[in-house]
Amino acid sequence: MKPASIAAQGLGWVDEQTRAIAPPIHTSTTYLRDPDNQYRSGRIYARDHNPTFDQAEAVLTALEGGHASLLFASGMAAATALFQALAPGDHVLAPKVMYWSLRNWLMNFATQWGLRVQFIEMNDPDDVRNAVQSGKTRLVWIESPANPLWTITDIALTCEIAHAAGAAVAVDSTVATPVLTRPFELGADIVMHSATKYLNGHSDVLAGTLTAREDSPLWLRIKSIRAQMGGVLGPFEAWLLMRGMRTLFPRVRAACDSAQSIAERLTQHRFVEEVLYPGLPGFPGHAVAARQMHGGFGGMLSIRVRGTKNGTVTGENAAIATAANVQLWKRATSLGGVESLIEHRASIEGAGTPVSADLLRLSVGLEDKADLVADLEHALAQAHS
Ligand SMILES: Cc1ncc(COP(=O)(O)O)c(C=O)c1O
């Protein structure tokens, strides 16, 4: 089966007993022990096992081409479980441009707990070569395209450098999704998703995932961290996530198509200073993106809004006013849902953000792309009137 068929049919799951083609939701928190004191079902308690997870985990594993997957209560729960599986004193490389909340957690919590976290330009292989410490760096964290500048990191090359130094590589592939990039084929060891975004796709489930390329002591530790620390998904959310994943391919393909058109159109707009989108030939990283992303460059882009020529309105004010004037786009954080979202990113990231004040982040949904362009152009014009 091709990946799109795997997703659409949820791996062809059918209930043996009832012949139902939609899976049930298992709410039980505990499982019956056999009279001889064994647990032959392999399930004991819901913090370790829930059958509602099985299909979503198996489908994701198949889509990524990995060994196994785990669902978590959120993307942050998934990512932090991986970092917690490392030991105090371990050296970790992370990108300067990455999802801000995880960057904050790495700076504030991971370092207090003893991880030695170094932030580098992950999209610059020389920076990776200079920073990696042979035998000491345990993990290199990649996000590609990276929030919210959509910086592209060459996953294959970074894996080569990291592996030569004995480090594992994890990829936050939330924005690329398994539709566009399969990091294991490029050498990665772990793939992470905020399943809150494209995997679920309807802005109604908070969830996260980790997938491992192969079984390893690190993966075993991650599994026991999930079971012991309890950052597991609820059964209803797991069921909704599986339902959302069935339409992953058409949703992502449509979002890519619209994002590409919107990016090209806005490149020529007089009130737009710069369009950041990996699908634009002039975008730094476009050539790498064209190599490692297949079938599109993602549904996320950012624009930097121009101020007025006479300087009475700054780029920052014009960006905030543009977001204030949209009617169709929803002014909200997050990404990867069916509805298009617009966000003044610097306002949410606060002090220390690498994001310029004139930047708007756009998550392109499934509305008619002509409507989306018209709404943005109207809002840009209003902001400059
Ligand atoms: C790229 C990326 N990684 C991780 C996360 C964190 O995921 P969650 O919000 O599901 O905890 C987000 C959330 O916005 C994200 O955009």
- DSSP state letters, 89-145: T-EEEEESSS-HHHHHHIIIIITTTT-EEEEE-TT-HHHHHHH--TTTEEEEEEESS
Nearest Cα to Cα of residue 225 among 235, 240, 237, 210? 210
pLDDT band for position 187 (cuts 50, 70, 90): very high
pLDDT per residue as tens digits for the range 15-28: 999 999 999 999 99
Whether the per-residue pLDDT at 330 is higher than 90: the answer is yes
The answer to whether residue 321 scores a pLDDT higher than 90 is yes
83-136 pLDDT tens trace? 999 999 999 999 999 999 999 999 999 999 999 999 999 999 999 999 999 999
Which of 261, 242, 276 lies closest to 57, judged by CA?
242
Position in ligand 1 atom list of the atom nearest CA 196: 10
CA torsion angle 192 197 201 207 (round to 10): 60
Q: Is the pLDDT of residue 207 over 90?
A: yes
Q: Can you tell me which atom of ligand 1 is nearest the CA of 146? A: 1
Taking Cα atoms as reference points, which of 103, 141, 111, 93 lies closest to residue 352?
103
For the four alpha carbons of 338, 142, 79 and 60, in that order, the dihedral sign comes to positive
**How far apart are the CA of 76 and the centre of ligand 1, in A?**
6
* Pocket (CB within 6 angstroms of ligand 1): 74-76, 99, 102, 143, 147, 172, 174-175, 194, 196, 206, 208, 334
CA of 40 to the centre of ligand 1 (A): 37
Pocket residue to mutate for ligand 1, from 71, 72, 74, 76, most atoms within 8 A of Cβ: 76
Percentage of the chain exceeding pLDDT 90:
96
For residue 223, pLDDT beyond 90: yes
Residue owning the nearest CA to atom 8 of ligand 1 = 75
Handedness of CA 324, 96, 205, 300 (dihedral sign): positive
- Euclidean distance between CA atoms 338 and 200, whole angstroms: 10
pLDDT for position 352: 81
Q: How far is the CA of 32 from the centre of ligand 1 (A)?
A: 36
pLDDT at 49: 86
- Going by alpha carbons, the residue nearest to atom 6 of ligand 1 is 75
* Secondary structure class of 215 (helix, strand, coil): coil
Q: Does the predicted TM-score (pTM) go above 0.85?
A: yes
Report the percentage of the chain scoring pLDDT > 70. 100
Chain mean pLDDT for the chain: 97
pLDDT band at 287 (very low <50, low <70, confident <90, very high): very high
- pLDDT given at position 353: 86
Query: How far, in Å, from the CA of 99 to the mean position of ligand 1?
Result: 7
How many angstroms separate the CA atoms of 275 and 373, rounded? 14
Separation between Cα atoms, residue 329 and residue 340, nearest integer Å = 5
Of the residues 142, 193, 196, 204, which should be mutated to test ligand 1's pocket, given the most ligand atoms within 8 Å of the CB?
196
pLDDT in tens, 147-166: 999 999 999 999 999 999 99
- Residue 102: alpha-carbon gap to chain centroid: 12
pLDDT at 350 (0 to 100): 81
pLDDT computed for residue 311 by the predictor: 82
Q: Which atom of ligand 1 is nearest to the CA of 334?
A: 14
pLDDT, tens digit, 9 for 90 and up, residues 230-284: 999 999 999 999 999 999 999 999 999 999 999 999 999 999 999 999 999 999 9
> Hey, what are 245's tokens?
């994943």
Segment 289-320, tens digit of pLDDT: 999 999 999 999 999 999 988 888 999 999 99
Query: Which H or E element spans position 343?
Result: strand 341-344
Which atom of ligand 1 is nearest the CA belonging to 336?
A: 16
- Cα–ligand 1 centroid distance for 75 (angstroms): 5
pLDDT at 309: 81
pLDDT (0 to 100) of residue 165: 98
Residue 52's pLDDT is 97
Q: Could you tell me which residues are beta bridge partners of residue 93?
A: 118, 140
Residues 6+ positions from 357 with CB-CB distance below 8 Å: 314, 315, 316, 319, 346
Residue whose CA lies nearest to ligand 1 atom number 9 = 75
- Catalytic (active-site) positions: 47, 99, 172, 197
Residue 60 in tokens? 């994701």
Q: Which residues contact 242 (CB under 8 A, 6 or more apart)?
A: 10, 23, 55, 56, 59
